[in-house]
Amino acid sequence: NLWLSIVLALPSVIILYLLTNISYFTVMNKATLLSSTAVAVTWGEIALGPVVRVLPVLISISALGSGNGSLFSSARYCMVGAQYGYLPDVFACIHKKKLTPIPGIVLQGVIAIGLCLPSNIDGLIDFFSFSAWIFYGITFSATLCCKFTMKNAERVISVS
């Protein structure tokens, strides 16, 4: 249920952010907070002590999971685009047993390698962030455009 997930997720994230900031101000004084270049690391060193060494591993696992989700969702977009005829038919193929869109994943790998070769990582991150926000804006605009120009169309997700 999309509506329920939005209603539960937004307040949960807001509460987590507030609790995080309260925790920062509880553990550190103003001078320590302002002089720190990485507030979360300073908080971890003070509050967690030697356990702080585990945090980079946990952050790496989280980043890997996020990257994995992005990889497979983007490959699915490629697959659906091919099914609708916007991309070559080869990208509509999926693995027989695992049902993963292998051609879309390979395409992403080739594009990623191509982007990494001539550039440094900072340029690649800037390029990706800019491109991602451009596509988010286009998606938002297209959603609004469809809502007002195709009022009687059947919708999978309905926002009242």
Render pLDDT for 55-98 as a digit per residue (tens, 0 to 9): 889 999 999 999 899 888 888 988 888 898 888 899 899 999 99
Distance CA 71, CA 55 (A): 24
Average pLDDT over all residues of the chain: 87
Alpha helices in 84-120 (DSSP H): 102-116
Stronger pLDDT, 156 or 43, i.e. the higher one: 43
Q: What pLDDT does residue 24 have?
A: 95
Phi/psi at 152 (5° precision):
-95, 5
Q: In this model, does residue 26 exceed pLDDT 70? A: yes
Is this structure's pTM higher than 0.95?
no
Identity of residue 155: R
Which residues does 82 contact at the CB level (< 8 Å), separation at least 6? 88, 89, 90, 91, 92
Q: In this model, does residue 118 exceed pLDDT 80? A: no
Q: What pLDDT does residue 97 have?
A: 93
For residue 104, CA distances in Å to 13, 73, 94, 130 come to 32, 10, 9, 22
